[in-house]
Structure 1
Amino acid sequence: EAAEQSEREVVPKILDPVDFSDSLQLPETLEAYRYICVARGKAPHLLNCLLDLRLGLDTGQTDPARHPEIVIATGPEGGWTTQELEQATAAGFIAVSLGSRILRAITAPIVSLSVVAAVSESSVKANGEDFA
């Protein structure tokens, strides 16, 4: 109902919480672009990664209007452990940042979904063509 009221064509799929190790190998996420949000370090901003993905710069994708499946893992209060980050990276997740400020565990998913919505709903030009 909320999706209908907000005139959304696509409703984000939010999976039920699962054990961290199990989440790395969920069959429904293995073909998706997978990102893990980190609070510190020199990880690229999620916005930049999604814009690159949207423009097909890092994928060789020929249809930039296609909406790929995206998985974004946001951490618990206090952040991910070093072991969790290593496991996620080994499983194909790309470390990304949500900015220079430390976000609460309850806020990070909202921020990350807002970034995804902004990129997917924006009118970005590549090679002179609009795709929104």
Structure 2
Amino acid sequence: MQIREQGRKIQFIRSEYQSDLKRSTSKVVASCSRFATSLLPEEADKLTPAEREQVTAYFEKKRQDSADWRRNYSVQSLQEALQQTIAHLQAEQPLEPSYANQLWQSMAQLQKTLKKMGYPKPGKTAKNSESS
């Protein structure tokens, strides 16, 4: 079975060999929205068990790729989010005390993880050491 993303749809295409034509023919047997996380039951019923396994594996890989992308995006945008948080606090905008506590805990955990993974805290810059 072939799985093809086309526009806003995902098409599931079955190829069958036609001995009288001496070639394969392809037929779309099921389709769904590009943003779907699984096939509807009535669409899945049109597939063979082997094809259902392929579809399940496809959607699992799609979920994993999406989770990896979200995690990578979060890491890449963290510095900007921290700068926005700093600006928010400097503008004297209030935070819930419980949320402030969560921020402190998360920052401490981030520092420990960075250190553990081999990213030590940078030392004082030359500018700071000259003024001492």
Shorter chain as denominator, the TM-score bin is: under 0.3
Structure with larger RCO (C-alpha < 8 A, sep 6+): 1
Point out the structure with the larger helix share: 2
Q: Which has the larger radius of gyration?
A: 2
